[in-house]
Chain A
């Protein structure tokens, strides 16, 4: 009853084409943002912020970036972790080598470096696609793993590639406490989510989707595959790179190349499959799912095991997490190939018509 657009007439194209055309959606989003910016910092305790919400935000940003490439442009990538690593280490170099480099600039420059690497490894996509491209992006993954471990210049000559940053600040405000870190990440995520939403609604996003749906038909109607694919690689790796820099600077603080190994890439891919390919909302759902599930299982499984008289140790729990991940991915691919985002929009559709079925 509450969620109905009756009586909301659009009198100009601008109103008709806004991101949230339904008033209730606008109110809901405004409330959500208010809650995220005001209520959460006031109410959440340090553990919740540091161990759950900050990784969730940063990984949603990375998933969002990957979703541009895989979900919107249809170019499968198993190298997202590599672009995160490039973003992180490039930002580190800018931050450490140049005196007085502002944090924001370092993070964005890290993203820019990731863009260059992403476009470089995206070049094969002009000739190959699908499964073959997956192998090409794996090359990016293993190459960067090696490069940050072995090429000492990238890591400022630190042994084993582990580096650390300290003294983060943004426009003179230090980013030290979990609340400050949380707000910084939240700000970045909101900006980039808005950016991506607008990109995919616009001209370039339509080109990506046309390439994804049928590349030959797209090029026949005048879309340049080279341009569309490389821009998708560029935008995607920029966002993933920024997320990588945030992950390293804000969440980890000190890190080594293993933080961005192939499992990170797989995790990001799972997030967008489970959340929904080709959906901004889906990236957040997927990230929430992948971040929260292990934490919930970590708590729930030992308790469950004790309840039935079978103590479960932590190793078994981690194996269970693997199994459940794998099972859920297959389940989602079979039951709902468009992920949680599709369930969400089906739910909204039903709500609009409620109480009538059609």
Chain B
């Protein structure tokens, strides 16, 4: 039982990171109809910026306190992500208005390659550590319920809280602020939104910036757990099955889908994997999404029925 719960928690933690990446995905898809392949690259880029800025801040500015350095680095990385969002909208999306979805997808593939190369060129390609001071010591839960208890990383718990806070803040932003309303309007119908005076290009910049912010948070959590490295951008491909599972247009779908895939992956690896020779983690999520596409193409929470042929 303890082992099962530990696997479950491990899966939830991995799933939470998938959720965070998928969240950025869904935000952009809702607002601009772009299937943003570059979300993973944005996570890597943001994490690289954060890691390097945190390293540079004490050297350049003479900041002593680690908290302040991290804060500055976070702000700096956020500025970088806003700049990236602005450039993507100005140089790429703004020029591809009215193109088909596939063209836009391929453009984001191009952005992926560019960001991967650019990030590693200016920030370096070693493995960096982000240290935001999350406690690393493990702790045991439910020790009274059964023997041995369940081993949980405190760091993971903090990360989960941060992710939850992020989702709550985002939903507040979307529901309560004027900008959030404008974003939802654009997501609903581009032309109608434009005709009541919502500036589309600014909205897109905002959405990409918000996605950049989500990417930054995901990058920081992931980076402080496993270090910032290139594989981050490949792991982010897992966000694709997550959004298929949860529904492309649904924020709760991204969260639930991410958790489901994270848990499913870990549990199937542990309990079914040995039958197939192990390592089924790499394809489990995709095959699950494939099955889902055949049975319920709009995902768990998706609104739109995809047109079938």
Residues on the A chain within 8 Å of B293, using CB = 124, 127-128, 132, 135-136
Contact B114 A266 (CB under 8 A): no
Contact B106 A139 (CB under 8 A): no
Known: A269-B106, A323-B113. A146 touches B309 (CB 8 A): no
A254 at the interface (CB under 8 A from B): no
B226 at the interface (CB under 8 A from A): no
Contact B282 A315 (CB under 8 A): no
A216 at the interface (CB under 8 A from B): yes
Contact B279 A150 (CB under 8 A): yes
Q: How far is the CA of A151 from the CA of B248 in the complex (A)?
A: 34
A329 at the interface (CB under 8 A from B): yes
Known: A139-B290, A327-B114, A333-B96. A146 touches B279 (CB 8 A): yes
Shortest CB-to-CB span from A327 to chain B, Å, is 5
Residues from 84 to 120 in B contacting A, C-beta threshold 8 Å: 91-92, 95-96, 99, 101-103, 105-107, 109-118, 120
Residues on the A chain within 8 Å of B96, using CB = 333-334
Q: Which of A74, A127, A269 contacts B297 (CB 8 A)?
A: A127
A326 at the interface (CB under 8 A from B): yes
1/0 contact string of B117-128 vs chain A (CB within 8 Å)? 110110001000
Residues on the B chain within 8 Å of A129, using CB = 306, 309
Known: A127-B308, A128-B293, A330-B114. A320 touches B287 (CB 8 A): no
Known: A138-B237, A326-B112, A337-B99. A132 touches B286 (CB 8 A): no
A219 at the interface (CB under 8 A from B): yes
Residues on the A chain within 8 Å of B306, using CB = 128-129, 132
Contact B117 A320 (CB under 8 A): yes
Interface magnitude class on chain A: 35 or more
The residue on A at minimum CB distance from B121 is: A319
Residues on the A chain within 8 Å of B234, using CB = 262
Contact B244 A326 (CB under 8 A): no
Residues on the B chain within 8 Å of A337, using CB = 99, 103
Interface magnitude class on chain B: 35 or more
Shortest CB-to-CB span from B181 to chain A, Å, is 27
Residues on the A chain within 8 Å of B135, using CB = none
Residues on the B chain within 8 Å of A334, using CB = 92, 95-96, 107
B276 at the interface (CB under 8 A from A): yes
The residue on B at minimum CB distance from A75 is: B102
Contact A126 B309 (CB under 8 A): yes
Q: How far is the CA of A328 from the CA of B105 in the complex (A)?
A: 15
Q: How far is the CA of A132 from the CA of B35 in the complex (A)?
A: 10
Residues from 70 to 122 in A contacting B, C-beta threshold 8 Å: 74, 76
Q: Which residues of A contact B (CB under 8 A)?
A: 74, 76, 124, 126-132, 134-136, 138-139, 141-143, 145-146, 149-152, 215-216, 219, 225, 262, 266, 269-270, 273, 315-316, 319-330, 333-334, 337
| Chain A to chain B: the 9 pairs with minimum beta-carbon distance, closest first | A322-B117, A326-B114, A326-B113, A329-B110, A323-B117, A139-B286, A330-B110, A142-B283, A150-B277
A-B contacts, 10 of them at CB < 8 A, read A124-B294, A134-B240, A135-B240, A135-B290, A138-B240, A142-B283, A319-B118, A323-B121, A325-B114, A327-B110
